[in-house]
A and B are shown apart, each in its own frame.
Chain A
Amino acid sequence: MLISGFSLDCERLPAPLPIWRATVRAETWAVVARGVSAQAGRLVALWASDRTRGASGGFAVSAAYALREGLLWLDLPLAERAPTYPDLVPIFPGAGRMQRAAADLLGVRAEGFADRRPWLDHGTWPEQYLPLRRDGAEKAAAALREATDYAFVRVEGDGVHEIPVGPIHAGIIEPGHFRFSVVGEKVLRLEQRLGYKHKGIEQRFTELPPREAYRLAGRVSGDSTVAYAWAYCMALESVASCELGERAGLLRALLLERERVANHLGDLGALGNDAAFAFGLAQFSRLREDWLRLSKEAFGHRLMMDCIVPGGVAADIDSTSVDRLLRQCDAVEREVRALRQIYDEHSGLQDRFMTTGRVLPELAARLGLTGLAGRASGQAADLRCDLPWAPYDQLAVKIATQRTGDVAARVAVRFDEVFESLRLMRVILSRLGEDGGKSGGETRTELRLPAKTAFAAGWVEGWRGEVFVGLEWDGEQGANRIRRCHCHDPSWQNWPLLEHAVIGNIVPDFPLINKSFNLSYAGHDL
């Protein structure tokens, strides 16, 4: 593979999307990163792993980059005595928190990276405990400790005061801490502290049987359960060289689009409500409830948890369900079009939405804003369009973008994506309904996991943005287990941008701005 003139020896992984993997040395680590940045690639994820086997092997740090041609997974083996690697923050600012998390979980550090504050480790784990090290298990039994203080950056000056919010927020939302430095009502600075929900998911993956772990993947972030389950299953199917049946693929895409619409409906209502337009919440939450109820009837679960399983889907749908789902698409489209007109014409609502919480395209590109929020700030990236995997390769997905980067833009992208998803679902459903729904064949195949070590990845455009799963499989000597499973949520990239979006806005607009991003705490904290 050629990256900005630099030739890299890569291995293509068997996956529905083009995914390459390469092992590099420390000198090359930053060279490749600069090359990726120069050709407008994105940093998707950064994580570390313990590759020791008995006395041999060591640690490794990995980075996943999105390029025009596909995903590049770079591995950098580290010296065991001083596990350090070159800092990526000067090239990809979004790497900072990921590097801090890698330091907390494995004790590997980026050389020259100034921020040495722990991120996920709040001091409550056993002393000097590094959960993803293989020798960690014995230490886990050691005494637990009280949470430690965190060194927030202080803003000094006349009239500056701080507003601490959280970890428990004043609503039905996930926990996290926000420290506002304000003058009067104007926000000078917001600093986040996350990690409150860290519950050891990555360690837990290594304890579960690989065919069962899709359930854990589906609970990384409940609102994206379909996207995570698909990404995990994509990786496991790659390990097993399993080809997904056509009908199973269509059903998965149907589930993913239904998840997208369910979340967008919820958010559009909540955004109206946060701008004091309770009518919007009542209308959209009613539509969302109708949507979830039909999901329950058609797929057996309101949020469609555990519907995607390794090798396919848990259950097929019959022609009656196809008809009902089609009719619901029409009904929701009619209602959402009427509601969009009401939102667009409501001057009070638009006054709150427009120019609020802006991230301009230039800043979005520099700091790596991704997914839905990225598309609202001119970052035209959507895996369903850029690297369409089956069945998206036959659907010609139309991307939704805006350039104003404010709350209004994120609302507009949601509306556009609802309509596009409804269109996709109609195409998918009409294919599923052909010949009374009998033509497509199997919806689940048995996986044969190989007796060797293997790397595989899953990469799916969830409703919030791209969800990535990096999997290390160990099939040697009958081990048959997951050595490492890294799940990456697009919230990692977007949380730091929220800090920027808030600057200069008034404190009462924060809930509205925050909701317009609607980032995951659970998916970030793991």
Chain B
Amino acid sequence: MWRILKQIAGNGIRSEAPPENSDSLRVEGEHMQRELLAILGQALTIRQVDAGSCNGCELEINALNNPYYNIEGLGIKFVASPRHADMLLVTGPVSRNMELALRRTYDATPGPKLVVAVGDCGCNGGIFGESYASCGRVANVIPVDIAVPGCPPPPLEILRGILTAVRRCRVGPE
């Protein structure tokens, strides 16, 4: 126990410390949190769906949970069921074998719902394109609000995409 406490105390709270040579992340993070709270009044719940990615995007989405990005501290939580979700975060070119599962997940998500496609493949099919086994971009299968390019996009870009979708939800006509 002593070692655990020493390790925790020794490292301090990293999510408040700015990353190397830059203060921008912290400022942006705090800014996002204020916006999110103002728009949603509470928290944003996200269901992540891998519809056929190479798993690179998943690694970067997972990184949002690390102490630097501390996404839960911003009021954003990944949930296990689409029925609990405000937003779907979808990666990959949509493989034909995942098309049905993705449609069902979309249908199971209560409205009003947001969809953010993550990664070059989610935006335009990426290097895999469209084929007998790939439907290409996410928008070919379900409606998409925001697409975040990058291969894979770094965590901060994914976070920016999430916030942009939420903002659009506030101003956009239904």
A interface with B by C-beta (< 8 Å) = 122, 124-126, 129, 131, 136, 140, 144, 146-147, 167-168, 170-175, 195-201, 203-204, 215-216, 219-223, 225, 266, 279, 281-283, 285-286, 288-289, 292-293, 296, 302-303, 305, 338-339, 341-342, 345-346, 520-522, 525
Contacts and interface: CB of A to CB of B under 8 A. Distances in A.
B157 to A, nearest CB: 11
A124 B96 contact: yes
Given A147-B100, A285-B67, 11 more contacts: A144-B96, A171-B48, A171-B80, A173-B58, A203-B133, A216-B128, A222-B53, A266-B59, A285-B65, A525-B95, A525-B97
Given A175-B50, A175-B51, A303-B152, A338 B7 contact: yes
B8 interface: yes
Contact of B62 (A172, A195, A215, A341): A172
22 contacts: A124-B99, A125-B96, A125-B132, A129-B132, A170-B81, A171-B48, A174-B50, A175-B49, A196-B95, A196-B98, A197-B92, A197-B97, A198-B96, A199-B133, A199-B134, A200-B132, A204-B128, A223-B59, A281-B65, A289-B67, A289-B68, A522-B54
B18 interface: no
Interface of B: 3-4, 7-8, 11, 14, 19-20, 48-63, 65-68, 78, 80-81, 92-93, 95-101, 105, 126-129, 131-134, 151-152, 154
A201 B60 CA distance: 22
Given A175-B50, A222-B56, A293-B19, A204 B131 contact: yes
Contacts of B52: 175, 196-197, 199
A346 B101 CA distance: 40
A223 B54 CA distance: 8
A520 B60 CA distance: 16
A338 B3 contact: yes
B97 A147 contact: yes
A136 B3 CA distance: 62
B55 A520 contact: yes
Given A170-B80, A266-B59, A203 B131 contact: yes
Given A175-B50, A286-B11, A196 B101 contact: yes
Contacts of A223: 55-56, 59
A225 B68 contact: no
Contacts of A522: 53-55
B72 to A, nearest CB: 11
B129 A204 contact: yes
A80 B92 CA distance: 37
A345 B3 contact: yes
